[in-house]
Amino acid sequence: MAISLQEQLLKAGLVKEKQLKKSNSEKRKQTRQQLHSKEGVVDQNKEAALQALAEKAERDRALAREQNKAAETKAIAAQIRQIITMNRQPKNNGDVVYNFVDDKKIKSLHVDKLTLEHLSLGLLAIVKLDGKYEIVPQAAALKIQLRDPSFVIVCNEQQKSADGTTEDDPYADFKVPDDLMW
């Protein structure tokens, strides 16, 4: 049977018995500490794993919020596109030029006289879709404005017409006589 290195060193006289005992006791202390520290290491590993899971869950929630926000933005853009395409007025390229401001630049749109009058009265509005300007009714423009105001370029408030009545005035058919004698 082979003898251990410690015994060989002791026989050779390179170490003393006291040094061997000290070395053995330190070795035992280290193994005990490692056993006790393994429990600490295990606890630290559990804490690190739990913390990593919590961080991953937070990252997943943040990513889900971003994806939901992107999906919501995309859905709103699709709704706006649908409202504009369903309600846009046919382009008639009239002889009257209607000037308006878009992004601090003056733009112009050729319309006929009736469309110009409706734009100025607030019955029609101008919206922007894919870099092109479309004319839609005021109700559609208000729906678009609720979803994203950046699409609506011109939406005048509905004003009274030349005779002092609005288009929706229920008493428009009843004229007030101006030749009453008191």
pLDDT digits (tens, 9 = 90+) for 10-50: 888 888 889 889 988 998 888 888 777 666 556 778 888 89
Q: Which of 149, 152, 147 is nearest to 136 (CA)?
A: 152
Please give the mean pLDDT across all residues of the chain.
83
Domains of the chain, by residue range, sit at 15-86, 88-154
Q: What's the pLDDT score for residue 168? A: 65
Please check the confidence at residue 88 and state whether its pLDDT lies above 70: yes
